């Protein structure tokens, strides 16, 4: 993959429970914890795990334990996120939040954590699965999901956009800038880079 | 832009809060207003007792909106270096003292969803600076003040103006009766804890909070800094052919400048690299962020704005 | 010296912005040497310096009224150019207090501030503003305190919160920027918002600058100069409006280069604030055309040498490649090869040509 040398682009590490933490909650965009999301020797049993089944017929869990080893299954990502907001609002100091999945899932989870008062020291993320990018058109603020090419057309203002490696954790998106602003029509061919 | 210069302050009044506690109120000796006191800020007083010069740091207890006066509370310490005894016994209303501009190394966290304040004894003073600011922000907070026998009533009185509708408690029963672990374990996410008091209390709060999973960035301890100065030493400027004495509270660069040598410098904080000077002889106590670990270990260079000698003398190629 | 404001001048479309001779000589020329590379070029911000631009905490010049009007226009088009995250309200009041007090102290003929406890009255004569309000009560001002005061100051401002041994850009008034977006960057850490800058990360410049700024003390502000080049005297070179100003870059020719291309200097100041412990970062922008710079012999020699030898990565990051050579070619015959004195002072009281 190309590297534009921009330092705002996040770097990710496989997850291991922070030994300083008192309780560890791992949210996953998928039906189970991907092995590559965890550091060597770490098993999902070290965490309370929340997963996403992507199906409607998910029965409510009987126990709803809030402890390491417990697993809760959600229908979809928004379902999980709304439960996460409720949970963090009544949590006490000592919790650590971890997330594994595509980049937008990670940084949307980060936003929920930050609004609940978690600092960067209390969260950790592993990027697994799709490399496709959420992009933010800096000219018209349109957000586009699943972009896989170096250049794409803005769905909002029609500009041919170059996808920079400059990443906003707040927007969970990469910056996209008109590529032919100086000489209209001078658009390089798009490359498939983020699939 | 010139607030780095020392202030000259006149003692307005002195109030005895308890036999061992006095509140000193100062006003600018030459009129005008003080700089806005920082929340959790402290000042350094220069106290001259005959030939003896003492520099003592005290938390400001006045509110940010109050700029006509600065207040401090001083406890008479039995085995003090002499500063508290000097203030309690020799300083009188009308006296003029030298005070360094306020500094804050104990600020409030802007992103805290709740502030938990824990004071021990005279460690109440920065809490008294926090309270008006927390009230002004409409912030959520809780204060626990530990007090020895006769101080409890005094602290109750000092905290009373802020107490209405707030969780403010004075614990007169000493540390044993204070359930620190219980308090720290029930705090909501996003709480920051601030502690000031005896080292044993500050260590207990830090240790207990860390064991309960509080991250380092949410545990705040009062600090008066102190990294600035160090032991005095002699610097020999070989090329200039002069020797300068570097005092305890003076930087090497300041001593060189005071001797009339035009030494290079820019940031005065150990970052830019401008004041880098070759060392001919002597060991350096490196305190800058510019030199690499290898360069520091090599011992051939010194950043004069922050670094000092680790020994009695330093010979410089200057 | 009394300022002669030029309220009608423009920084877009008609570009009627011009500099008086005094205004050219007070320009904070950014190169202390004949070569340029990134460094931690920070120094204490004390009154007085190599040109008149360093005489006040927050510098006001003959373009004050016109720049405030331009800011008003940008904000009308795009209100998100001013944003402050909610946890920075104490820093907003700190900023208002600092800027009002400094302006009233440095320019008593133009600004005054009177206080009776929490009841403050602010008078801004050039903009014809007379405002009474209660310090600490947002509802007594027409907008947030940070927006209120930075609408009345020249240059951009950002607010940095300090936490977890880092600085976060958690607010700003950004309408005269050199191609960075507040809407995109707000909330970023120090290294993140400097992410796109080449070479400096590898040189450790940002690591050292961050450590220094984390220790920045209340009452001891610091400053540095930064620079780039802009085609036409356009203040708003934002990424948001890049499709509007981008074509300017292709409009430079050897015939118009001296008048069209401007050296854009930022006098950056950093203040630790008392209540919030945040840092107020002022980014005061000055524009001077290559033709005006050429009227100062030392500056034209030095600008020629710096641009001629500039590292290509820096030139690319600053967006110079389309016209750099034309500027160098224009200045080359004006550089007699004579040595230049260290520092940025113009070394003259009168302009050539």
Interface test with C, best of A7, A115, A159 (most C CBs within 10 A): A7
Is position C350 within any domain? no
Query: What's the complex ipTM?
Result: 0.93
Collect the ranges in chain A with pLDDT lower than 50: 1
Task: Report the distance separating Cα C304 and Cα C294, nearest Å.
Answer: 10
**Does one domain contain both A27 and A122?**
yes
Identify the weakest region by mean pLDDT among B12-16, B117-121, C195-199, C315-319: C195-199
Collect the ranges in chain B with pLDDT lower than 50: 1-3, 226-227
Contact B221, B238 (CB under 8 A): no
> CB-hemisphere CA count at 13 Å for C353?
10
Is position C323 within any domain? yes
For residue B214, list chain A residues with Cβ-Cβ distance below 8 A. Answer: 93-94
Q: Where in chain B is the domain with CATH 3.40.50.80?
A: 114-221
Residue C163 falls in the annotated catalytic set = no
Is position A9 within any domain? no
Number of Cβ atoms within 10 Å of the Cβ of B238: 14
Is position A87 within any domain? yes
For residue C211, list chain B residues with Cβ-Cβ distance below 8 A. Answer: 271, 289
Is position C239 within any domain? yes
pLDDT tens-place string over residues C255-284: 999 999 999 999 999 999 999 999 999 999
Choose one of A127, A152, A178: the last residue of a domain. Answer: A127
pLDDT at res. A63: 64
Mean pLDDT, residues C282-309 taken together? 98
Contact A167, C189 (CB under 8 A): no
Contacts of A64 (CB under 8 A, 6+ apart): A70, A72
Decide if pLDDT at C143 tops 80: yes
pLDDT at res. B3: 42
Is position C240 within any domain? yes
Strand A173-178 versus strand A48-52 pairing type = unpaired
Helix (H, G, I), strand (E, B) or coil at B55: strand
Contacting partners of chain B (3+ CB pairs under 8 A): A, C
Mean pLDDT, residues C140-164 taken together? 98
Domain holding A89, by residue range, is 23-127
Contact A166, C184 (CB under 8 A): yes
pTM, whole model, 2 decimals?
0.92
Task: Report the distance separating Cα A86 and Cα A88, nearest Å.
Answer: 6
Q: Give the Å distances, CA to CA, from B201 to B76, B121, B158, B206, B213.
A: 20, 10, 21, 9, 18
- Under an 8 A CB cutoff, do C240 and A138 touch? yes
Number of Cβ atoms within 10 Å of the Cβ of A158: 12
- Under an 8 A CB cutoff, do A119 and B215 touch? yes
**Does one domain contain both A113 and A148?**
no
Mean pLDDT of chain C: 96
Distance of CA B235 to the CA centre of its chain: 28
**Does one domain contain both A157 and A123?**
no
- Under an 8 A CB cutoff, do C208 and B289 touch? yes
Is position A4 within any domain? no
Mean pLDDT, residues C22-38 taken together? 96
- Under an 8 A CB cutoff, do C277 and B107 touch? yes
pLDDT at res. B2: 38
Contact A122, A96 (CB under 8 A): yes
Indicate the helix (H) or strand (E) that contains C22: helix C21-25
Contact A39, A126 (CB under 8 A): no
Is position C279 within any domain? yes
Q: Where in chain B is the domain with CATH 3.10.20.30?
A: 233-316
Contacts of B168 (CB under 8 A, 6+ apart): B142, B143, B145, B159, B162
Chain A residues with CB within 8 Å of chain C CB: 5-9, 119-121, 136, 138-139, 141, 159, 164-171, 175, 177-178, 181-184
Choose one of A127, A155, A176: the last residue of a domain. Answer: A127
Helix (H, G, I), strand (E, B) or coil at A40: coil
Helix (H, G, I), strand (E, B) or coil at C230: strand
Task: Report the distance separating Cα C226 and Cα C41, nearest Å.
Answer: 9
Contacts of B176 (CB under 8 A, 6+ apart): none
**Does one domain contain both A28 and A114?**
yes
Task: Report the distance separating Cα B210 and Cα B206, nearest Å.
Answer: 6
Decide if pLDDT at C178 tops 90: yes
Task: Report the distance separating Cα A81 and Cα A109, nearest Å.
Answer: 7
Tell which B residues from 218 to 237 touch A, by Cβ distance under 8 Å: 218
Buried b / exposed e along A83-93 (16+ C-beta atoms within 10 A): ebeebbeebbb
Contact B155, B169 (CB under 8 A): no
Beta strands of chain C (E only): which ranges?
A: 43-44, 82-84, 111-116, 119-124, 129-134, 156-163, 166-173, 222-231, 261-272, 279-289
- Residue B10, exposed/middle/buried by CB under 10 A (0-12, 13-18, 19+)? middle
Phi-psi region of C334 (alpha: psi -120 to 50; beta: other; left: phi over 0): alpha
Indicate the helix (H) or strand (E) that contains B257: helix B252-258
pLDDT at res. B79: 62
Closest Cβ opposite residue A21 in set B185, B213, B217: B213
In CATH, the architecture of B7-104 is Beta Barrel (2.40)
Is position A151 within any domain? yes
Task: Report the distance separating Cα C82 and Cα C94, nearest Å.
Answer: 17
**Does one domain contain both A39 and A110?**
yes
Q: φ and ψ at C101, to 5 degrees?
A: -65, -40
Nearest Cα to B289, choosing from C42, C35, C163? C42
pLDDT at res. A20: 94
Is position C236 within any domain? yes
Helix (H, G, I), strand (E, B) or coil at C71: helix
Strand B242-246 versus strand C43-44 pairing type = unpaired
For residue A121, list chain C residues with Cβ-Cβ distance below 8 A. Answer: 164
Is position A10 within any domain? no
**Does one domain contain both A161 and A123?**
no
Q: φ and ψ at B54, to 5 degrees?
A: -120, 145
Q: Give the Å distances, CA to CA, from A51 to A27, A44, A78, A84, A108.
A: 6, 12, 12, 12, 15
Is position A185 within any domain? yes
pLDDT tens-place string over residues C6-17: 999 999 999 999
Domain holding C202, by residue range, is 21-85+148-334
Mean pLDDT of chain A: 93
> CB-hemisphere CA count at 13 Å for C79?
2
Task: Report the distance separating Cα C39 and Cα B70, nearest Å.
Answer: 40
Is position C263 within any domain? yes
Q: Cα-atom radius of gyration of chain C, to the nearest Å?
A: 20
**Does one domain contain both A74 and A41?**
yes
Nearest Cα to B3, choosing from C221, C158, C207, C329? C221
Decide if pLDDT at C31 tops 90: yes
Decide if pLDDT at C150 tops 90: yes
Task: Report the distance separating Cα B233 and Cα C228, nearest Å.
Answer: 45
**Does one domain contain both A114 and A160?**
no
**Does one domain contain both A65 and A118?**
yes
Contacts of B12 (CB under 8 A, 6+ apart): B25, B26, B27, B69, B93
Nearest Cα to B275, choosing from B288, B261, B264, B262? B264
Helix (H, G, I), strand (E, B) or coil at A18: coil
Q: Where in chain B is the domain with CATH 2.40.30.10?
A: 7-104
Please indicate if any CB of chain C lies within 8 Å of the CB of B135.
Answer: no
**Does one domain contain both A35 and A94?**
yes
Number of Cβ atoms within 10 Å of the Cβ of C113: 17
In CATH, the architecture of B233-316 is Roll (3.10)
Q: Cα-atom radius of gyration of chain B, to the nearest Å?
A: 22
Strand B191-196 versus strand B114-120 pairing type = parallel
Q: Please, what CATH class does the domain formed by B114-221 belong to?
A: alpha beta
Is position C247 within any domain? yes
Contact A177, C238 (CB under 8 A): no
pLDDT at res. C332: 98
First to last CA, chain A: 10
pLDDT at res. B236: 95
Choose one of A70, A94, A127: the last residue of a domain. Answer: A127
Number of Cβ atoms within 10 Å of the Cβ of C49: 17
């Amino acid at each position: 993959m190309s590297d534009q040398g921009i330092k705002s682009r996040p770097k990710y590490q496989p997850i291991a429970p922070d030994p300083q933490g008192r309780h560890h909650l791992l949210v996953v965009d998928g039906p189970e914890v991907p092995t590559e999301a965890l550091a060597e020797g770490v098993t999902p049993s070290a965490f309370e795990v929340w997963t996403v089944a992507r199906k409607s017929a998910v029965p409510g869990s009987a126990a709803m334990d809030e402890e390491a080893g417990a697993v809760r299954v959600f229908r979809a990502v928004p379902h999980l996120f709304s439960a996460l907001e409720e949970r963090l609002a009544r949590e006490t100091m000592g919790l650590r939040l971890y997330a594994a999945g595509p980049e937008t899932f990670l940084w949307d989870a980060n936003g929920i954590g930050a609004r609940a008062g978690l600092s960067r020291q209390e969260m950790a993320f592993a990027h697994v699965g799709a490399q496709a990018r959420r992009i933010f058109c800096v000219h018209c603020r349109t957000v586009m999901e699943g972009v896989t090419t170096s250049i794409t057309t803005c769905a909002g203002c029609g500009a041919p956009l170059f996808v920079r490696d400059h990443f906003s954790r707040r927007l969970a998106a990469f910056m996209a800038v008109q590529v032919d602003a100086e000489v209209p029509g001078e658009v390089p061919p798009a490359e498939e880079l983020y699939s | 832009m010139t607030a780095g210069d020392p202030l000259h302050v006149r003692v307005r009044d002195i109030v005895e809060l308890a036999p061992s506690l006095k509140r000193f109120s100062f006003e600018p000796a030459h009129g005008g207003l003080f700089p806005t006191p920082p929340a959790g800020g402290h000042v350094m007083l220069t106290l001259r007792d005959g030939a003896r010069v003492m520099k003592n740091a005290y938390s400001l207890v006045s509110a940010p909106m109050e700029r006509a006066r600065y207040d401090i509370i001083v406890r008479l310490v039995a085995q003090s270096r002499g500063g508290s005894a000097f203030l309690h016994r020799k300083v009188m209303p009308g006296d003029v003292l030298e005070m360094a501009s306020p500094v804050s190394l104990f600020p409030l966290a802007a992103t805290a969803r709740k502030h938990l304040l824990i004071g021990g004894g005279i460690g109440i003073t920065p809490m008294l600076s926090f309270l008006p600011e927390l009230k002004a922000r409409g912030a959520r907070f809780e204060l626990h003040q530990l007090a020895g026998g006769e101080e409890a009533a005094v602290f109750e009185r000092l905290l009373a103006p802020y107490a209405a509708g707030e969780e403010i408690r004075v614990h007169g029963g000493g540390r044993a009766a204070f359930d620190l672990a219980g308090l720290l374990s029930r705090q909501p996410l996003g709480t920051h804890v601030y502690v000031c008091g005896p080292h044993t209390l500050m260590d207990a709060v830090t240790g207990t909070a860390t064991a309960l999973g509080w991250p380092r960035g949410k545990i705040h301890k009062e600090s008066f800094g102190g990294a600035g100065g160090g032991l005095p030493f002699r610097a020999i400027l070989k090329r200039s052919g002069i020797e300068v004495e570097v005092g305890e509270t003076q930087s090497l660069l300041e001593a060189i400048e005071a001797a009339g040598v035009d030494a290079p410098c820019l940031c005065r904080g150990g970052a830019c690299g401008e004041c880098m000077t070759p060392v001919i002889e002597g060991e350096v106590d490196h305190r800058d962020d510019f030199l690499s670990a290898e360069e520091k270990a090599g011992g051939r260079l010194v950043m004069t704005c922050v670094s000092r000698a680790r020994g009695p003398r330093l010979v410089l190629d200057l | 010296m009394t300022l002669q404001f030029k309220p009608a001048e423009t920084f877009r479309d008609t570009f009627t912005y011009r500099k008086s001779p005094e205004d050219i000589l007070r320009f904070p020329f950014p190169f202390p040497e004949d070569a340029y590379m990134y460094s931690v070029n920070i120094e204490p911000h004390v009154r007085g310096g190599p040109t008149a631009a360093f005489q006040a905490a927050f510098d006001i010049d003959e373009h004050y009224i016109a720049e405030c009007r331009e800011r008003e226009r940008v904000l009308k088009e795009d209100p998100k150019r001013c944003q402050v995250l909610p946890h920075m309200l104490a820093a907003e009041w700190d900023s208002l207090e600092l800027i009002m007090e400094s302006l009233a102290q440095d320019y008593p003929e133009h600004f005054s501030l009177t206080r009776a406890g929490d009841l403050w009255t602010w008078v801004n004569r050039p903009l014809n503003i007379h405002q009474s309000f209660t310090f600490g009560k947002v509802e007594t001002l027409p907008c947030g305190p940070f927006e209120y005061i930075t609408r009345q100051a020249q240059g951009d401002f950002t607010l940095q919160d300090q936490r977890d041994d880092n600085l976060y850009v958690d607010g700003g008034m950004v309408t005269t920027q050199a191609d960075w977006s507040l809407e995109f960057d707000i909330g970023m850490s120090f290294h993140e918002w400097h992410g796109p800058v080449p070479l400096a990360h590898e040189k450790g410049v940002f690591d050292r600058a961050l450590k220094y700024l984390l220790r920045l003390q209340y009452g001891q502000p610091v400053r540095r100069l930064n620079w780039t080049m802009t085609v036409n005297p356009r203040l708003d070179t934002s990424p948001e409006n890049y499709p509007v100003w981008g074509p300017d870059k292709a409009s430079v020719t050897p015939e118009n280069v001296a008048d069209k291309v401007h050296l854009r200097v930022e006098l950056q100041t950093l203040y630790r604030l008392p209540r919030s412990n945040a840092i107020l970062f002022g980014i005061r922008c000055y524009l001077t055309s290559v033709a005006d710079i050429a009227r100062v012999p030392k500056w034209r020699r030095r600008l020629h040498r710096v641009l001629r030898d500039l590292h290509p990565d820096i030139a690319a990051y600053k967006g110079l490649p389309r016209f750099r050579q034309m500027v160098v070619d224009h200045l080359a015959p004006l550089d007699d090869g004579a040595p230049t004195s260290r520092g940025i002072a113009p070394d003259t009281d009168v302009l050539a040509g």
